[in-house]
């Protein structure tokens, strides 16, 4: 019987590369076959070999591209577009981690070049919790939407489980929680509200050479005003986040990545009875993302974050980070 699965090559064996590799092997075998993985770090490749001994090691990025139908780019941001352009030049599609690039002009040029041959890994595009929020909104739970609020906080940055990547995750050029975390919630605001515009922001960088420790911003998503706050050091949690949309009749929100809640008439919040904690929701979300990768690669309609959406988000994030510190 012919194997009609899409063949995925992976460049980057860090946390995200390992996660998607695991999902492709365990969750998405009906739609995806893994050609192999490559990372320039011997230590990263040794970790992958220990966890996934049957996955082929590919010799370099060119070998990964030659072996695949779609290249998943999970390397640090400064290298994203180099690998993505190599893949597109070879006639392959690209599934890229965010942000697209560290240079906005280059990101704009790439999006104009690539068209619909790529997508970006914003998992909220495939989130059951986001689907629940969308259903509640469609059912009239909040009435006419009026505003969006985004709040993120971290005990430390990088988060404890990201310590191995602190070299770039806590540097101003490629890292920081705005690029790594806030971008997801800006994507969600854009997907549910509309294009992002009207930014006013501040960003604080109190430690020389390190990433931001506080941001505050207002903007619009479509016709909805958005407030945004992010801080390091005010919570004991590795990762605290709330995305809320409020209307004339009520409000719904997404908490800690995967829990949908609706505000009751007495002001209390009621959790979706089917909600899963993030560690249990993640495999399902990644499976759906990979199914979207297969559809994109076949030239079929897909629900992944488009390159244009990802660029819109990146434009806002970089503008926030370039804003003056608060008084």
Q: Is the dihedral of CA 64, 59, 17, 79 positive or negative?
A: negative
Q: What is the pLDDT of residues 49-107, one digit of tens each?
A: 999 999 999 999 999 999 999 999 999 999 999 999 999 999 999 999 999 988 999 99
Nearest to 290 by CA among 10, 12, 2, 1: 10
Task: Give pLDDT, residue 323.
Answer: 96
User: Is domain 125-278+312-321 given the CATH code 3.10.580.10 in the classification?
Assistant: no
Residue 90 phi, psi dihedral angles, 5° rounding:
-90, 5
DSSP 282-299: HHHHHHHHHHHHHHHHHT
Residue owning tokens 């492709």: 24
Q: For residue 179, what is the DSSP state?
A: I
Residue-level pLDDT at 164: 79
- Give CA–CA dist 10/185, Å, rounded: 25
Q: Give the per-residue pLDDT at 216.
A: 98
Mean pLDDT of the 111-140 span: 97
Question: What CATH fold (topology level) applies to the domain 6-122+283-305?
Answer: Rossmann fold (3.40.50)
315: left (phi over 0), alpha (psi -120 to 50) or beta: alpha
pLDDT tens-digit profile of 135-164? 999 999 999 999 999 999 999 999 988 887
Domain locations along the chain: 6-122+283-305, 125-278+312-321
Reported as a single tens digit per residue, the pLDDT across 231-280 is 999 999 999 999 999 999 999 999 999 999 999 999 999 999 999 999 99
Query: Residue 1 above 80 pLDDT?
Result: no
Same fold, 6-122+283-305 and 125-278+312-321: no
Residue 68 CA, chain-centre distance (Å), reads 22
pLDDT of residue 327: 59
């Amino acid at each position: 019987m012919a194997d009609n699965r899409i063949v995925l090559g992976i460049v980057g064996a860090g946390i995200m590369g390992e996660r998607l590799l695991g999902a492709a092997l365990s969750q998405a075998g009906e739609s995806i076959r893994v050609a192999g993985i490559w990372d320039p770090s011997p230590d990263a490749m040794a970790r992958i070999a220990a966890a996934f001994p049957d996955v082929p090691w590919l010799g370099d990025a060119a070998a990964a591209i030659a072996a695949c139908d779609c290249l998943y780019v999970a390397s640090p941001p400064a290298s994203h577009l180099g690998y993505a352009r190599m893949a597109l030049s070879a006639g392959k599609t690209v599934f890229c981690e965010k942000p697209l690039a560290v240079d906005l002009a280059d990101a704009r040029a790439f999006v104009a070049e690539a068209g619909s041959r790529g997508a970006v890994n914003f998992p909220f595009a495939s989130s059951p919790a986001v689907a629940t929020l969308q259903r509640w909104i469609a059912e009239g739970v909040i009435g006419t939407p009026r505003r969006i609020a985004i709040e993120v906080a971290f005990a430390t940055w990088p988060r404890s489980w990201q310590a191995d990547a602190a070299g770039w995750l806590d540097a101003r050029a490629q890292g920081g929680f705005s690029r790594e975390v806030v971008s997801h919630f800006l994507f969600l605001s854009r997907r549910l509200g509309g294009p992002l515009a009207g930014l006013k922001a501040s960003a604080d960088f109190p430690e020389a050479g390190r990433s931001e420790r506080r941001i505050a911003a207002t903007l619009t998503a479509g016709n909805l005003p958005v407030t945004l706050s992010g801080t390091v050091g005010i919570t004991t949690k590795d990762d605290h986040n709330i995305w809320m949309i409020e209307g004339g009749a009520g409000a719904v929100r997404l908490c800690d990545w995967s829990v949908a809640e609706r505000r009751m008439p007495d002001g209390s919040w009621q959790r979706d009875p089917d909600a899963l904690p993030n560690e249990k929701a993640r495999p399902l979300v990644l499976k759906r993302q990979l199914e979207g990768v297969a559809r994109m690669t076949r030239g079929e309609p897909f629900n992944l974050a488009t390159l244009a959406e990802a660029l819109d988000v990146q434009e806002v994030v970089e503008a926030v980070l370039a804003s003056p510190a608060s008084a």
